[in-house]
């Protein structure tokens, strides 16, 4: 993804919640749908969940609130900072990264060596 895309979402991060009538309710609603889908297909909580393109954390926060261990990433550093702030306000422990999902490393080792994550 290009710098233009990151810049767009960086500028949008502080207002993104306005896309929802009630963002907190959207977090709960999405978690109440996604949680059971994951849990019935993969196993019971806590699951390890990777939320790529997490934005400000709508799904990541909800899944963490259900007890899952969530790692969230997004191209937008501003969205990641916003998601970190929102998770902290809710006293939820999530792992956050700024990452370009347009680049997928060949292996987890490449990830640990910093290729693909910023």
pLDDT digits (tens, 9 = 90+) for 59-85: 999 999 999 999 999 999 999 999 999
pLDDT digits (tens, 9 = 90+) for 6-46: 887 778 788 888 788 999 999 999 999 999 999 999 887 79
Alpha-carbon span 88 to 82, nearest angstrom: 10
Q: Are 2 and 41 in contact (CB under 8 A)?
A: no
Q: Is the peptide bond before 110 cis (omega within 30 degrees of 0)?
A: no
E strand segments, 42-114 = 48-51, 69-74, 95-98
Pairing between β-strand 69-74 and β-strand 95-98 as defined by DSSP bridges: parallel
- Domains of the chain (ranges; CATH) run 3-112 (3.40.50.150)
Q: Are 56 and 27 in contact (CB under 8 A)?
A: no
- pTM, two decimals, is 0.81
């Amino acid at each position: 993804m290009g710098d233009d895309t990151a810049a767009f979402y960086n500028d949008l991060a502080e207002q993104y919640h306005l896309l929802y009538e009630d963002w907190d309710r959207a977090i709960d609603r999405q978690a109440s749908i996604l949680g059971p889908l994951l849990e019935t297909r993969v196993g019971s909580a806590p699951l390890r969940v990777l939320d790529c393109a997490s934005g400000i954390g709508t799904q990541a926060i909800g899944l963490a609130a259900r007890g899952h261990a969530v790692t969230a990433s997004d191209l937008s550093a501003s969205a990641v900072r916003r998601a970190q702030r929102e998770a902290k306000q809710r006293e939820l422990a999530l792992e956050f990264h700024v990452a370009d999902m347009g680049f997928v490393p060949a292996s987890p080792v490449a990830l640990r060596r910093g290729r693909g994550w910023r």
